[in-house]
Chain A
Amino acid sequence: MKRTFSRLLNASLLIAITSIWLFSCKPKIKDEDIQTQIQSNPALTHLVATVKDGVVTLSGECKDEADKTASENVVKQIPGVKSVVNNTTIAPPPPPAPVEIAADDPLTKGITDALKDHPTVKATAKDGIITVTGEATSANWKKIKIALDALKPKKVDASGLTIKK
């Protein structure tokens, strides 16, 4: 009886250990497999990845913070990836569009219209710069300045203008 019991116990233990081993051990995913997954993913082609023992190190340039986070999450979903080291940088913002500056002819025409009601003020346009001379009250000059800025000059130089009270 004792012998049978002890044999049963051994057998159960063996079965238990085998089962635990069978169900918990997964086939090891190779680093190369992870790398293949990364390289074939269109969402990650702009980045560089190295894989070592399931740890993926990402580098390269992401277009913004959202891209950086999304890329990391995509990699985390890949089977076999244990962790991600995200060393990607974020691209600087694109330079702003250059300022539009009107040509001298439309500026000159616009100046004529803007100054029609202000005979004491004179202005000329050259290479985008409007140079203003003469005199005006503060209130009138403000109206003129608003109108001149709207013509898209490079600059409005009123250093030669006298503001009268």
Chain B
Amino acid sequence: MALQDKYQQLIDTANTSGVSNLQVREQDGVLYIDGEAPSGAVKDKLWDVYGSIDPDFLSGDVVMNVNVATAVPGAKVKVVTEKSNLNIRKGPGTDQPIVGKAAHHEIITLVSKSNDQWWLVRTDDGEEGYAYAQYLAPVE
């Protein structure tokens, strides 16, 4: 219960921001928070609150996994790398050959999710392959 108290503000934010399928479980000294945020903005807000309670996440007592509900097949997603292009690969892994690139801030289409880390995408030019999901944000 102590961890839930420490992170009460984070749990409250998740509840009031419309996170669905929210699960908060404590196991072996770690608090696991899972759910689906209605938008990327809500997911960002949750990470900001988490970081305010545990600066730089150095306590290691939370594992938070909140996906974004708007990231569904057919959705438009924006390349949110810091400044570089995003590699589009033949398969879901950095060991896979690069078959194309999407430019920084380009809007491309999410075709399907291979898993939480790798999404099959297609650019307007018709290049299709796998891109690392961390660098893709649903257009809201």
Contacts and interface: CB of A to CB of B under 8 A. Distances in A.
Contacts, number: 65
B63 A113 contact: no
A63 interface: no
A99 B58 contact: no
B16 interface: no
A116 to B, nearest CB: 5
A30 interface: no
Please report whether the interface of chain B is mostly helix, strand, loop or mixed according to DSSP.
Answer: mixed
Interface residues of A, number: 30
A112 B94 contact: yes
A68 B96 CA distance: 59
Interface string A129-161: 000000000100111011101111111111101
Given A99-B25, A113-B132, A149 B63 contact: yes
Contact of A147 (B28, B30, B60, B134): B134
B8 interface: no
Given A99-B25, A116-B94, A145-B57, A155 B47 contact: no
A157 B60 contact: yes
A113 B25 contact: no
Nearest to A163: B56
Contacts of A159: 58, 60
Contact of B94 (A113, A146, A149, A151): A113
Nearest to B64: A149
Given A96-B23, A99-B27, A151 B58 contact: no
Closest 7 CB pairs of A and B: A116-B94, A113-B94, A99-B32, A157-B60, A145-B57, A149-B63, A96-B25
8 contacts: A98-B27, A109-B93, A110-B117, A113-B118, A141-B57, A150-B65, A159-B58, A159-B60
Given A112-B95, A113-B132, A155-B29, 9 more contacts: A113-B94, A114-B134, A142-B56, A142-B57, A143-B134, A152-B65, A154-B63, A155-B63, A158-B58
Interface of A: 96-99, 109-110, 112-114, 116, 138, 141-143, 145-147, 149-159, 161, 163
